[in-house]
A and B are shown apart, each in its own frame.
Chain A
């Protein structure tokens, strides 16, 4: 028994020294040993091979359905006016200017049926469908037995992901979060000074880097010269809570959010000790003026870190950018837009908060292959003369969508839970009325 215990202790010591030596220390210095890069390269090769096998398997068995990622239907693109004109076919116009025809209803009918078959919004709140399977059970569409080899690789993948990678990642994540709490509390003991800020930055960067290793995250930052500066506001598209880790790996931000209880609350308090973040009480969030004033005060102080805000207000599945809430764009100051695009092949980063709670979501992240994403820093933007907040918000949104290759939608991310506003229907009714009355 003694020997077994000794061996167990030795193994645990070995485990921790590996973790500390090979992962934590390089993370603190911002260096990388290159293991993750090799891992990703190997993974890409395996996935390509698997895709070829699956395609070959499908060709041999034509009854298997191909999963096409393009649409089910081809939509008409005309405006309401053009289409209803066509409908009326240039027949004899009615007398006295009232141009109603019984056939007009078929325009609305067809538009309605088209939206039932395929619409722009509902599928943004569920995970993106992949063109080819990436050997994860969770993205399995129409899994039919293709060949023994693919199944073996899949089985190996499951073993590696759950038995080797997941424990490693969970260890790292816990260390990262623990270090954040302890480190920020220690830094918080110092008096306000340049050294304190510098130390606080180091602590934050280090533990976010450790957390990123804890997700096997490979992040490529583009246009680093546009990195958000102090006194600015950083806006980005929102896919999951991991966005914060991704962005904070390369810079320090002041976080904005609601005060939580429990572990998160402890973290928030200790983070607040080392540098000014903005945490709101639930009651304060309802008062838009109070919120705006606090943000304005923070931005005005040029020594404070840039604020990180996600104007969509909710997680979207990273195929599109939805309406930006205008609140953040009314504050003034320079907006630094950032586009984040995850590569869905290695793991689905979208947090479907209706379906998974935070803990199961994080576990899913830690049992994916990896998180691979691109971050583009866009040139700073400011509100122009005479431009209102909504137009400005849309301008920033388009820039982000364009850079990240995402679809630019004006639908509200709140449609995930709420009903659409009647105002949009009224717009259509108004347009139609002007057509029949003139």
Chain B
């Protein structure tokens, strides 16, 4: 299991991923083991079915949206680079202290990028606005059949009303950021990776 997996990952690849994502060497090899064990087809890429096979993810109400986040526009396969790039959003912000030598562009796990990840869970068509319909869709996924359409609609309307500042009945990314100002996004959208 482990030996064949890590032998397919070359040192140059590991270094590149390290620079791009900020994960450490050992974290990258262990995540590669995980990637390899999910890759039932053994073709070096994961499909949506590979993710669906994880029971805890299949029962997550937002499971489909989360899986979507791994796949770039219109693609059906995600390779290891893409996998790591998405996971990098969830590195704790404190870990960045060690990687100050990384290039000046914003790290993937900055507060702003974490918020953008959450924003994109709602904004399916990537038009940088969460419309009422998009909000309703996500709400419906999270509550299932337990709330009526009318009630859900009023919750959506109320949410948009509170967030919308420019009156276009949609929530833009900056409005989204404002709403979540007080929320500790860095902590909530971070996973403690062991070294």
Q: Which residues does A use to contact B, with CB under 8 Å?
A: 65-68, 70-74, 83, 86-89, 91, 94-96, 98, 100-123, 126-127, 129, 140-143, 411, 415, 419-420, 424-426, 428-430, 432-434, 436-437
Most chain B beta-carbon neighbours within 10 Å: one of A113, A142, A415: A113
Q: Contact between A74 and B194 (Cβ–Cβ < 8 Å)? A: yes
Complex CA–CA separation, A120 to B56 (angstroms): 8
Q: Contact between A122 and B37 (Cβ–Cβ < 8 Å)? A: yes
Complex CA–CA separation, A127 to B34 (angstroms): 14
Question: Is there a chain A Cβ closer than 8 Å to B93's Cβ?
Answer: no
Q: Contact between B154 and A98 (Cβ–Cβ < 8 Å)? A: yes
Residues of B within 8 A of A141 (CB): 1-3
Q: Which of B25, B37, B61 is within 8 Å of A123, CB to CB? A: B37
Q: Contact between A428 and B60 (Cβ–Cβ < 8 Å)? A: yes
- 20 example contacts (A-B, Cβ-Cβ < 8 A) are as follows A65-B25, A89-B184, A94-B162, A100-B139, A101-B159, A108-B60, A108-B61, A109-B117, A110-B188, A110-B191, A112-B66, A115-B60, A118-B34, A119-B56, A122-B37, A122-B38, A420-B55, A425-B61, A426-B144, A428-B61
Q: Which of A95, A106, A434, A436 is within 8 Å of B185, CB to CB? A: A106
Residues of A within 8 A of B145 (CB): 426, 429
Binding site secondary structure of chain A: helix
Q: Which of A65, A102, A118 is within 8 Å of B26, CB to CB? A: A65
Residues of B within 8 A of A112 (CB): 57, 60, 62-63, 66
Residues of B within 8 A of A434 (CB): 146
Question: Is there a chain A Cβ closer than 8 Å to B77's Cβ?
Answer: no
Whole-angstrom distance from the CB of B50 to the nearest CB of chain A?
A: 10
Q: Contact between A116 and B51 (Cβ–Cβ < 8 Å)? A: yes
Q: A109-B117, A112-B57, A119-B56 are in contact. Are A103 and B188 (CB under 8 A)?
A: yes
Binding site secondary structure of chain B: helix
Question: Is there a chain A Cβ closer than 8 Å to B183's Cβ?
Answer: yes
Residues of A within 8 A of B63 (CB): 112, 425
Complex CA–CA separation, A88 to B147 (angstroms): 21
Q: Which of A65, A95, A121, A143 is within 8 Å of B55, CB to CB? A: A121
Q: Contact between B143 and A436 (Cβ–Cβ < 8 Å)? A: yes
Q: Contact between B56 and A121 (Cβ–Cβ < 8 Å)? A: yes
Residues of B within 8 A of A111 (CB): 56, 60
Q: Contact between A108 and B142 (Cβ–Cβ < 8 Å)? A: yes
Chain B minimum-CB-distance residue to A428: B61
Complex CA–CA separation, A116 to B37 (angstroms): 11
Q: Contact between A126 and B37 (Cβ–Cβ < 8 Å)? A: yes
